[in-house]
Amino acid sequence: MKMKYNRRDFLKAGAGVGAGLALGSINVSGRTNLFKSVTSQIKAAPIDPVRVGFVGVGGQGSGHVRNYLNIEGVEVRAVCDIVESKVARIQERVVKAGQPKPTGYSRGELDFKRMCAEEDLDLVFTATSWEWHVPVCVEAMKTGKHAAVEVPAAVTLDECWQLVETAEKTNKHCVMMENCCYMGFEMMVLNMVRKGILGELLHGEAGYMHDLRALKLSDRGEGLWRGAHSARRNGNLYPTHGLGPIAECMN
């Protein structure tokens, strides 16, 4: 389906509505239709079973595979990683869980493209090093798969737009799997908010504290690449860990 509006136009329209409401001099009916047009066009029918391919199955990725194997209606069909032994380990885990052995892909950094081209998948989940998140998600959507991605989904604004615009052009979802929105404590607080136990929320503050010095200075795993981001970028590298749960509660 060809979309009438892209997300940049949508955001511009939103800014116009906000300014108009502040001035009290704008007819918002056309803008409302624009919002409905944009938000209603990316839809997907229920899928059962959900056939999943994983790209990046190190520390984070292997944990996601374990979680997905515990979800009814999910089939792990393909596994991709630059380290062949990690692919073999996940293949063994999937078989032990009672599913057929997934196809392995480990011919280098770009082998995820071969996986996306060859495999009949519904969803591609990437838990690679951060600079590969957007290339994998874009390739997945362009080949007809939905995409799910570890935090952060992207590392630049241009990359964010690549995800948004590819999702709109392909009519495929791209979801950042922000685990801190769905842990027990956060879900408990969200439930309390929705039940009105805390009354009307007027202000929210959030943060995320985690000592990662050992991980960033390690000579293996995430230590091989993650410390470089902290060295060259001054800021919160994945603010959704704190902002996500607050945004849910304030929605």
pLDDT digits 0-9 by tens, 29-70 = 444 455 455 555 667 889 999 999 999 999 999 999 999 999
Residue 45 lies in a domain: no
Q: Which residues contact 37 (CB under 8 A, 6 or more apart)?
A: 3, 4, 5
Residues 105-133: what's their mean pLDDT?
Answer: 98
- Has residue 26 got a pLDDT over 80? no
User: Of 139, 157, 177, which closes a domain?
Assistant: 177
How far apart CA 113 and CA 135 sit, in angstroms, is: 9
| pLDDT value, residue 5 | 52
- Has residue 159 got a pLDDT over 90? yes
- Has residue 3 got a pLDDT over 80? no
Q: Tell me the pTM.
A: 0.81
* Residue 18 amino acid letter: G
Q: Where on the phi/psi map is residue 24: left (φ > 0), alpha (ψ -120 to 50), or beta?
A: left
* Residue 150 amino acid letter: E
Q: What is the separation, in whole angstroms, between the first and last Cα of the chain?
A: 30
Range of the domain at 237: 181-250
CB 80 within 8 A of CB 103: no
Same domain, 54 and 116: yes
Same domain, 107 and 223: no
| Number of residues in the chain | 251
User: Of 177, 210, 238, which closes a domain?
Assistant: 177
How far apart CA 33 and CA 47 sit, in angstroms, is: 29
Residue 2 lies in a domain: no
User: Of 125, 159, 177, which closes a domain?
Assistant: 177
How far apart CA 144 and CA 153 sit, in angstroms, is: 19
